[in-house]
Amino acid sequence: MNIASVIVDVPAMKIDRPFDYLIPEQWIGRIKPGMRVVVPFGPRKIQGFVVELKEEAEVSKLKAIHEPMDLIPVLNRELLELGHWMTDKTLCFKISAFQSMLPAAMKAKYEKIFVLRNDLTFLPLDLQPYFERNGRLYWKTAEAENLLTLLQKQVDNRNLEVVYNVKAKGKKKTVRKYYLAFDKAKIEEIKESLGNAVKQREVLEYFASLEAGARLASKDIVESIGVSSSTLKTLVEKGLIIEKQEEIYRDPYENRNFAQTKPFQLTSLQEQAIKPILHNVEENSFKTFLLYGVTGSGKTEIYLQSIQRVLEKGKEAIVLVPEISLTPQMVNRFKGRFGNEVAVMHSGLSIGEKYDEWRKIQRKEVKVVVGARSAIFAPFENIGIIIIDEEHETSYKQEENPRYHARDVAIYRGQYHQCPVILGSATPSLESFARSQKGVYQLLTINKRMNAGEMPPVTIVDMREELRKGNRSMFSVDLFEKIQDRMEKKEQTVLFLNRRGHSSFVMCRDCGFVLQCPHCDISLTYHRFSNGMKCHYCGYEDVVPKTCPECESEHIRYFGTGTQKVEEELTKLLPEARIIRMDVDTTSRKGSHEKLLKAFGDGKADILLGTQMIAKGLDFPNITLVGVLSADTMLHLPDFRAAEKTFQLLTQVSGRAGRHKLPGEVVIQTYTPEHYSVELAADQDYDRFYEREMMMRKMGSYPPFYYITLITVSHEDLLKLVNIAEKMTDFIKARLSPQTITLGPVASPIPRIKNRYRYQCLVKYKREPNLEATLKTLLEQYEKQYTSEGLSISIDVNPYMMM
């Protein structure tokens, strides 16, 4: 097999297929599917993935592969197939599907280099110095020195060539190790030959005292016997010891001790839930389970014990956890049970660390991976279980190409490996719960908390009422008194600010003017730290105006309740309170999230104040009060999942109180106490919420009753855009079945971002066999017609972001 089919790194519709290349003689039998190669493509050399080997090619004159980038495949057969499947399902390019499965460190960067092809003297005099040393010149340097046109001529007359160097990022970390170059038995003899070189003799003696074949890092030797590294060097030069670079892993959890934990005796409810899972593990058969259990009901213990059985069978496990709940506490539970068998993947790791974790999996040095979304692509080959915790989290959907949902990939891989897939949640997504009602997923329910803990009582406070009573503060009387009470009792309070869609903006109190981004149709966010305004879409920054640009009033000031503002007010009202604030500003530095949580856990603060990120995973015995400052900010987003998201969030937050011995309580402040998502979250009544929400979805023809696909087009020229959007919608309508609903085109909820206008078209369907083909054709047609004109099209199948 001397021909390789390669998917090349050119993201364009007409190139999104394999191209055949000849494998050079010396690489035949060594280049395999799943390896990356550098191939010539047009005038360039680019990267590609080998997807297949074959004897015969479709065309006759083939170019040869330039060189391999990997010596072993980085994608196995299953992942290659998965890539093709993802391409069909999400309408992405094959190349992006493959690349998304690899750690960022492996997404190689190109470096362009001019390389001398003839003798140096063929070059004009002023260019010669640049090539004197090694016959190469970096494109970047040439660009900086303004040489490109000069060089261009030399490329034309073939004195120079431009080479695309693919530079691998994420270097392996190595350490120098030393070991004896001879048999340990001869040590006395050789020692004598060293005469009175005392230090060198000491080193050999030290090796003699260790077991045969011992390899030591220079640091170990230097520290143990106090010789200098130059002694080691001399011994290496004499050929008595050997120096070798050995790879070490950067283990982000290296210096921590994991107290070994033992499996609990399961409660009878847990027993009932785990039994069907273990059955499928034993039988090696695929099934998707929905593990529906309130927070604290012992779901994680079920995961752990299921994994244990999987490991006993010699198989591997993937556990997905949302990024924000991938806290050290969470990781410790897995490391505590399975120790070094566990790899951890999340965005807090450096690129190099992630790469190391990935390679542990690839080399079969670990059996369990715990990670955020992309860990679903872990290159295991013998998977025995896949678990998705908090399955309702929308962060499992990737919001850029490829727009895959980890749940779908999990089910694909579960089928491939014939193993159970477990979706766990206290508030399952409507889609998943509906599937469990239809028997597509098997429902496993645990309806009681561990520790026989009751769910905490919840009070709803109507903030409109507070205002009528003259309370203009962001704290209701009730909540404020309760905070004071906890401070006296030395118990802890968590205050939760639902910030999404509610950032602080600047508004004129006289005329109502709101400061907007000049490039995007959204209001600018006020940042206290820099005392400036910032656009969260394009990064535009401005100073806060002293007077209203509209009416020149001086009563222009920032509004809304950012965490900083809450902290300020709280400090004013309760000067003695010790407050820890957690939001994107205070947790952006690596490890700070962990530090703040630890401080709170250690009782170094009375109040933890934060955004979404504190809704999860918090589990401290001293928290007895949870306050939600504004429950309904998310309700008014133009998103059919707004009620679902509100319900999930409120339920999650409420679950943070009273998880241990001390009883807890929850106060929810809202302007819409009558909304069912607020009411039912207060009652912790998922089942009734499900019923209500299903009715709404049915009425609106939304998921899970219909599938939806969102097509967004954007362009700088509004008239042109509207014209194109209309034609596109007509094109789609004409090709889909009459039962399918095609809405639009209309302006997107955010009608302009970065000076580009945005229009959308929403397709709702129950069964639409023509959809994939129609959208593909659409992309092809418009790519040809419009890329040059600056149109962009994005297609999101099963979207989670409706903006």
Binder to ligand ADP among 99, 297, 714, 760 (CB under 6 A)? 297
Report how far residue 561's alpha carbon sits from residue 629's, in angstroms, rounded to the nearest whole number: 9
Phi, psi torsion values for 49, nearest 5 degrees: -110, 130
- Which among Zn ion, ligand ADP, none contacts residue 297 (Cβ within 5 to 8 A by kind)? ligand ADP
- Provide the b/e sequence for 63-85 (b: ≥16 CB within 10 Å): eebbebbbeebbbeebbbebbeb
* Beta carbon of residue 594, minimum distance to ligand ADP (angstroms, whole number): 19
- Which among ligand ADP, Zn ion, none contacts residue 550 (Cβ within 5 to 8 A by kind)? Zn ion
Q: Which residues are registered as beta bridge partners of 765?
A: 707
Report how far residue 37's alpha carbon sits from residue 63's, in angstroms, rounded to the nearest whole number: 13
- Provide the b/e sequence for 241-263 (b: ≥16 CB within 10 Å): beeeeeeebeebeeeeebeeeee
Phi, psi torsion values for 151, nearest 5 degrees: -65, -40
Measure Cα distances from 559 to 466, 484, 512, 556 in Å: 18, 26, 11, 9
Whose tokens are 């009608």? That residue is 751
Stretch that binds ligand ADP, among 121-129, 264-272, 469-477, 713-721 (CB under 6 A): 264-272
Cβ proximity to ligand ADP, 374 vs 425, nearer residue: 425
* Beta carbon of residue 513, minimum distance to Zn ion (angstroms, whole number): 4
Length of the chain: 803
Q: Helix, strand, coil % (nearest 5) of the chain?
A: 40, 25, 40
Q: Tell me the angle at which helices 218-225 and 229-237 cross, rounded to the nearest 10 degrees.
A: 120
- Which among ligand ADP, Zn ion, none contacts residue 270 (Cβ within 5 to 8 A by kind)? ligand ADP
Cβ proximity to ligand ADP, 44 vs 660, nearer residue: 660
328 binds ligand ADP (CB under 6 A): no
Report how far residue 342's alpha carbon sits from residue 361's, in angstroms, rounded to the nearest whole number: 9
* Beta carbon of residue 798, minimum distance to ligand ADP (angstroms, whole number): 27
Q: Are the beta carbons of 266 and 301 closer than 8 angstroms?
A: yes
- Which among ligand ADP, Zn ion, none contacts residue 274 (Cβ within 5 to 8 A by kind)? none
Annotated binding site for Zn(2+): 508, 511, 517, 520, 535, 538, 548, 551
Stretch that binds ligand ADP, among 252-260, 262-270, 547-555, 743-751 (CB under 6 A): 262-270
Report how far residue 543's alpha carbon sits from residue 526's, in angstroms, rounded to the nearest whole number: 9
Cβ proximity to ligand ADP, 261 vs 350, nearer residue: 261
Strand 458-462 and strand 383-388: the pairing is unpaired
Cβ proximity to ligand ADP, 248 vs 266, nearer residue: 266
270 binds ligand ADP (CB under 6 A): yes
**Residue 425 belongs to what H/E stretch?**
strand 420-425
* Beta carbon of residue 284, minimum distance to ligand ADP (angstroms, whole number): 26
* Beta carbon of residue 334, minimum distance to ligand ADP (angstroms, whole number): 12
Binder to ligand ADP among 83, 298, 384, 414 (CB under 6 A)? 298
Size of the site for Zn ion (CB under 5 A): 15
Of 404, 150, 385, nearest to 276 by C-alpha is 385
296 binds ligand ADP (CB under 6 A): yes
618 binds ligand ADP (CB under 6 A): no
Cβ proximity to ligand ADP, 444 vs 535, nearer residue: 444
Q: How many CB atoms lie within 10 A of CB 371?
A: 26
Which DSSP string corresponds to 708-743? EEEEEEEES-HHHHHHHHHHHHHHHHHHS-TTSEEE
Q: How many CB atoms lie within 10 A of CB 501?
A: 14
* Beta carbon of residue 263, minimum distance to ligand ADP (angstroms, whole number): 8
* Beta carbon of residue 618, minimum distance to ligand ADP (angstroms, whole number): 11
- CB under 8 Å to 557, separation ≥6 — which residues? 506, 507, 509
Q: CA angle, 461 as apex, 457 and 462 as ends, to 5°?
A: 150
- Which among Zn ion, ligand ADP, none contacts residue 362 (Cβ within 5 to 8 A by kind)? none
User: Among residue numbers 425 through 484, which ones bind ligand ADP (CB under 6 A)?
Assistant: 450
Report how far residue 184's alpha carbon sits from residue 199's, in angstroms, rounded to the nearest whole number: 18
Q: Max CA-CA distance within the chain?
A: 97
User: Among residue numbers 487 through 546, which ones bind Zn ion (CB under 5 A)?
Assistant: 508, 510-511, 513, 517, 519-520, 535, 537-538, 540
Stretch that binds ligand ADP, among 258-266, 275-283, 346-354, 589-597 (CB under 6 A): 258-266
122 binds Zn ion (CB under 5 A): no
Cβ proximity to ligand ADP, 92 vs 614, nearer residue: 614
Strand 442-446 and strand 525-527: the pairing is unpaired
624 binds ligand ADP (CB under 6 A): no
Annotated binding site: 508, 511, 517, 520, 535, 538, 548, 551
652 binds ligand ADP (CB under 6 A): no
**Within 13 Å of residue 544, how many CA atoms lie on the same side as its CB?**
19
* Beta carbon of residue 296, minimum distance to ligand ADP (angstroms, whole number): 5
Stretch that binds ligand ADP, among 153-161, 229-237, 296-304, 474-482 (CB under 6 A): 296-304
Q: How many CB atoms lie within 10 A of CB 673?
A: 18
- Which among ligand ADP, Zn ion, none contacts residue 393 (Cβ within 5 to 8 A by kind)? none
Stretch that binds ligand ADP, among 7-15, 261-269, 309-317, 414-422 (CB under 6 A): 261-269
295 binds ligand ADP (CB under 6 A): yes
Stretch that binds ligand ADP, among 14-22, 293-301, 392-400, 781-789 (CB under 6 A): 293-301
Cβ proximity to Zn ion, 24 vs 532, nearer residue: 532
Binder to ligand ADP among 66, 94, 191, 299 (CB under 6 A)? 299
Q: Which positions lie near Zn ion, rule CB under 5 A? A: 508, 510-511, 513, 517, 519-520, 535, 537-538, 540, 548, 550-551, 553
Q: Which positions lie near ligand ADP, rule CB under 6 A? A: 264-267, 270, 293, 295-301, 450
